[in-house]
Amino acid sequence: MTSERWEPVAFKARVDEVLQRFVAEEAGLLTLVDPALGPVADQVEEAAASGKRLRAAFCYWGWRAVGQPDSAALLRAAASMELVHAAAVVHDDLIDDSALRHGRPTAHVALRGAVTHHPQPAVAARALAMLAGDLLMSLAGQLFVSSGLPAAYLGRARPLWAALARELIAGECLEILHTGAAPDTAASLKVVRYKTAKYTVEQPLLIGAVLGGADRRACEGFTAYGLPLGEAFQLRDDLLGLFGDRELTGKADGDDLRGRRPTALLAETWRLAGESERARLDSLLGRRDPDGDHLAAVREVMRRVKAPERVEDMIADRVAEALRALDELRLPAPAAAALTALASSAAVRRS
């Protein structure tokens, strides 16, 4: 994709090619240490192989938005954002004990086959998955610094990289700390912001822009666009996690409810519910492992109090806020068109 028009399929193919080559080489180096590491290397490659490449796209268009041309080196730097995401996914699935991702077993489930001889195979597989996620995060930094961009450019983005990692971890920690607590919308939205919104949209966009020489005022505009859009992205994920088509999401439905995670959907349900409905939710969610019938009953309570509609409104408000900020940035037409299209891709989707 070297034309001025945003071509998401062609862009994804370029990012996929960068990642496939880089990660395959690194996985090969891992197995050179010992062939027994093959299953771990396979999971590293598997984790990096999937994704919409939205984070790379936001980084790319942050660069283009400040007047920089298409660049193979920048594309490699942008692709590193996807390895951050791959690492976060492996760790998130491990923390949440999720069994499926993109319709396939998650890393800690798939790796059980490599440790059948271990006295505690499930524990060992989880440890291997944790280390695979750690390696992916390390590879993200390696791909970024070896992208081919000038050292001075990379230096400008170093503080943003530090913030990206710190805030992502803060969000994961906050989710754990709030899991099982009384539902609270403000607390849930803070988890949304730090666990997902920042590293999905705002930080990749800012990194691309700062690499390209953006000034402070431009960065403030990119944050005004990126934060609400990132929040809309995660709010959509929350809805899809309970009301989406499992065939399209590739995830086990109801994981958030089973884990009593602090989603905005659950918090808004609780806020809108009356006393009897709250008692019903407590009864349903207090079970150790709610089955399909119990989850269906929770969905019914959510529909009755119109919580999904409330979250849809929250998504629409944030997309509108992001697009207003984008309009005020007065970007070159190709960048404005691409970031407008990306806003729709992030917030209006079925998987």
Domain of 118, CATH number, reads 1.10.600.10
> What is the C-alpha to C-alpha distance for residues 68 and 70, in angstroms, rounded to an integer?
7
Assigned domain for 2 exists: no
Q: What is the pLDDT of residues 231-261, one digit of tens each?
A: 999 999 999 988 988 777 777 667 788 778 8
The pLDDT score that the predictor gives to residue 260 is: 84
Residue 317 lies in a domain: yes
Query: Is there a domain that residue 233 lies in?
Result: yes
Residue 1 in any domain: the answer is no
Residue 27 located in a structural domain: yes
Per-residue CA distances from 257 to 96, 124, 273 (Å): 11, 27, 16
Q: How confident is the model at residue 3 (pLDDT cuts 50, 70, 90)?
A: low
100 forms beta bridges with 105
Note whether 90 and 129 are within 8 A (CB): yes
pLDDT at position 255 is: 75
Centre a 10 Å sphere on the Cβ of residue 307 and count the other Cβ atoms it contains: 24
Rounded CA gap, 122 and 104, in Å? 17
Domain ranges, residue 15: 8-347
Contact residues for 218 (Cβ-Cβ < 8 A; gap 6+):
65, 66, 209, 329
The rounded Cα 95 to chain-centroid distance in angstroms is: 15
Residue 192 lies in a domain: yes
Between CA 182 and CA 281 the distance in angstroms is: 12
Q: Structure pTM?
A: 0.94
Cα angle vertex 58, ends 151, 261, to 5°?
A: 115
Count of domains for the chain: 1
* Section 180-204 average pLDDT: 96
CA–CA separation, 58 vs 186, rounded Å?
Answer: 27
